[in-house]
Amino acid sequence: MSFVDRERASRLMAEAGLDALVIAEPEGFAYITGVSQGVPALFRRAGAGFAVLPADPQQPIGAVIGDLYEEAARRLVPEVRVHPLWMENADLTGMPEAGPVEARIASAWRKAGRPPGFARPATFDLHLALQALADLLASLGLAGGRLGLDLDYVAASDAAVIGDALDGAGIANGSPVLDRIRMVKTPGELSRLTLGVELAEAGLRAMAASVEAGHTAADLHGFFLAGVEAEAAQRNIKAPPSWAYIAVGPDPWNPKGRVEREAVIKADVGCVVDGYSSDTSRNYVFGAPTSDQAQLHRSIEAAFTAGREWIRPGVPLSEVHRAATAALEEAGLTGFSRGHFGHGLGHSLFSEQWPFIAATSTTPIEPGMVLAFEIPIYVTGVGGFNLEDQFLVTPDGHRSMNTLPHHLITVGR
């Protein structure tokens, strides 16, 4: 299932003077087509597949994909072209079981139109993929159009080959347009991000309930995973992949820290639902906090409150960064410098996706965005802290997708 809002995409491509986007990045490909490029995506090179998103919303979405995945693509994508992969495959469905199986396989290849001398590439052949892409573009009336290629992903050497193969077209960088399209979430994306944060919070609750003296970050990670799995089982769904950055003790960078009295536990976690990662962080202390820990966390909470007040439509992201920084400085952290206080969320290899809540970001906040807003600070000798929620931007403000309290949470018996 494609998650593209075709009307929004059409408007943004028109503003950029593009007739279509041609996307090679595996995550962008899946976002546009609803189909995975499969194993070839692991090579992280252009040619595994191309998604074609025409600016005209009446034009169908197209895909170039490896031949092993043709059937899956044709179920979801209106226009599909294929190129050969290194993996050999044959289909004997419906063939009489007469004669040696090897002969039947060879017959199936001939019936499928395999030409004499056919040879598979070592992995995949960019030139063959581009031949399929050229045919697809011609069928869509885009052969001579202005195409936005995701040049933030495509290697320079591959970009040159693509430019030569599509000589009649104009090539521009389509990555910024794709970023803007993906920035606002569709209902299917929101349901995945909501499920991810709900499962992650269940994992955090389970972790907090299990902490005892002597536990390591690895132990706490295990408690988190168990909580995610228990919540998923209660919902009768398979537990998705998850991740956790957990720091224990006064040195936030020491992977061997152990839980003891007054140990701070920073848990930055997420669950990845169909490629969409949630992102939540909370802070805990084993027993009563020290005065330094309590005061520092109050400062973080004040900055969190100050910054979130600016999360509303029309406000540049830089204003959120400015408000959070000002609150930290007002608390006495003169000279505090943080590159960004959060980011977008979406289908990605990493939980952090453009745009970023940075001092230089002029991107205006829009309804439908999902932002992970965070206030992290790491102080060796005191501990690591990060307070982070997922916020859905609404027409008149924002709504947190989290339910856990924001204060420094006391754990342990």
Place of tokens 């609750």: 205
| Structure-model confidence comparison of residues 70 and 98, the more confident one | 70
Q: What is the mean pLDDT of residues 243-254?
A: 96
Which pLDDT score is estimated for 116?
85
Which pLDDT score is estimated for 154?
97
pTM of the model: 0.92
pLDDT, tens digit, 9 for 90 and up, residues 21-70:
999 999 999 999 999 999 999 999 999 999 999 999 999 999 999 999 99
From CA 411, how far away is CA 342, in angstroms rounded? 27
The topology under which CATH files domain 187-411 is Creatine Amidinohydrolase (3.90.230)
Q: Do domains 6-86+121-183 and 187-411 have the same CATH topology?
A: no
Please report the sign of the dihedral spanned by the C-alpha atoms of residue 164, residue 170, residue 173, residue 174.
Answer: negative
Q: CB of 151 within 8 A of CB of 159?
A: yes
From CA 110, how far away is CA 11, in angstroms rounded? 46
| Structure-model confidence comparison of residues 91 and 393, the more confident one | 393
The topology under which CATH files domain 6-86+121-183 is Creatine Amidinohydrolase; Chain A, domain 1 (3.40.350)
- Going by DSSP bridges, is the β-strand pair 264-273/242-248 parallel, antiparallel, or unpaired? antiparallel
Could you tell me if residue 364 is left (phi over 0), alpha (psi between -120 and 50 degrees) or otherwise beta?
beta
Which pLDDT score is estimated for 329?
97
Average pLDDT over the chain, rounded to an integer: 96
Q: What is the mean pLDDT of residues 89-99?
A: 85
Return the C-alpha torsion angle 214, 216, 222, 224, nearest 10.
Answer: 90
| Structure-model confidence comparison of residues 391 and 114, the more confident one | 391
Which pLDDT score is estimated for 161?
96
Which pLDDT score is estimated for 413?
66
How many of the other CB atoms lie within 10 Å of CB of 389?
24
Q: CB of 144 within 8 A of CB of 169?
A: yes
From CA 64, how far away is CA 310, in angstroms rounded? 42
Indicate whether 376 pLDDT > 80. yes
From CA 344, how far away is CA 206, in angstroms rounded? 27
Residue extents of the structural domains in the chain: 6-86+121-183, 187-411
Indicate whether 7 pLDDT > 90. yes
Q: What is the percentage of the chain residues whose pLDDT exceeds 90?
A: 90
> Tokens representing 379?
């102080």
Which pLDDT score is estimated for 30?
95
Which pLDDT score is estimated for 99?
83
Indicate whether 263 pLDDT > 70. yes
Q: What is the percentage of the chain residues whose pLDDT exceeds 70?
A: 100
Indicate whether 206 pLDDT > 80. yes
Indicate whether 257 pLDDT > 70. yes
pLDDT, tens digit, 9 for 90 and up, residues 171-186:
999 999 999 999 999 9
| Structure-model confidence comparison of residues 103 and 372, the more confident one | 372
Long-range pairs for 271-274 at CB < 8 Å and ≥24 separation? 271/195, 271/196, 271/197, 271/199, 271/200, 271/203, 271/228, 271/240, 271/241, 271/242, 272/196, 272/240, 272/241, 272/242, 272/243, 273/192, 273/193, 273/195, 273/196, 273/199, 273/240, 274/192, 274/240, 274/347
| Structure-model confidence comparison of residues 242 and 93, the more confident one | 242
